[in-house]
Amino acid sequence: MTQKRKAERRIKSVAGTSNKNFDPHESYNPIPWQVIAIALALAAWGIITLATTREMAESEPEVTQGTGADERLSKAVDAEMSDGRQLFVTNCSTCHQNNGSGIEAAVPPLAGSRYVLAEPEVPASIVLFGIQGEIEVAGDTYRGRMPTFGNELNDEQIASILSYVRNSWGNQASAIEAGLVAEQRRRFAERTTPWAGGAALAETFGIPATSRPTASVATSEESH
């Protein structure tokens, strides 16, 4: 036996077959459909979970940022109200009292006052230049004198006081910015005297000089 034939016999013995027609292949073994269904379900669950997690991660910073901004705004408003209250107590409470009730027959109340709740330029101008003359508030007439604060307080301080007053003791009105106070200061830069009571305010700002209802005019039938 030649060396070549011996080598061929060794190879066949190691391969475990001497069949010349041997065709190496694996038999067809299909994967059960249950396994396929489970695999697809797991894949779908993974995709949905990933998308949901990503969406939550992207939206969470926005919520946190919005909440933080609201908190900062709230703190700023509280700080301004606190400053306004302190300035009010120092400069205004002697006459108007800490609760804004004023002094009967002498100093008008600030709670519910149409001058306080009017357009911002009205109370800003009153604080800047004061009032000297007859003024009617809540049905009562007062003839006292409110001092001028334009030379004592700056625009920011006046704005803080008015923002506090316009949102205290049941009052609800917009806050007043220092810029608006500055505008009124420039608008009436030539003014050297206080406002001459409610009549002057009515003429300048169009705010009624009285809150009392006007008497109705008699009809022609009643006059006969």
Which long-range CB contacts under 8 A does 11-18 form with residues at least 24 apart? none
Question: Residue 222: pLDDT above 50?
Answer: no
According to DSSP, the β-strands at 140-142 and 135-137 are antiparallel
Q: Is the per-residue pLDDT at 3 higher than 70? A: no
- Percentage with pLDDT > 90 across the chain: 55
Position 120, amino acid: P
Q: In terms of pLDDT, which residue wins out, 206 or 69?
A: 206
207 or 217, greater pLDDT: 207
Closest alpha carbon to 207 in 136, 158, 108: 136
Mean pLDDT of the chain: 80
State mean pLDDT over 183-198.
97
* The pLDDT of residue 223 is above 50: no
pLDDT bin (cut points 50, 70, 90) of residue 53 is low
pLDDT at residue number 207: 93
Q: 93-205 belongs to which homologous superfamily?
A: Cytochrome c-like domain (1.10.760.10)
pLDDT > 70 in the chain, percent: 62
Given a contact cutoff of 8 angstroms between Cβ atoms, the answer to whether 114 and 139 are in contact is no
* Least confident piece of the model among 47-51, 111-115, 214-218: 214-218
Decide: residue 92, CB within 10 A, 0-12 exposed, 13-18 middle, 19+ buried: buried
pTM confidence score: 0.64
- Whole-number pLDDT of residue 47: 75
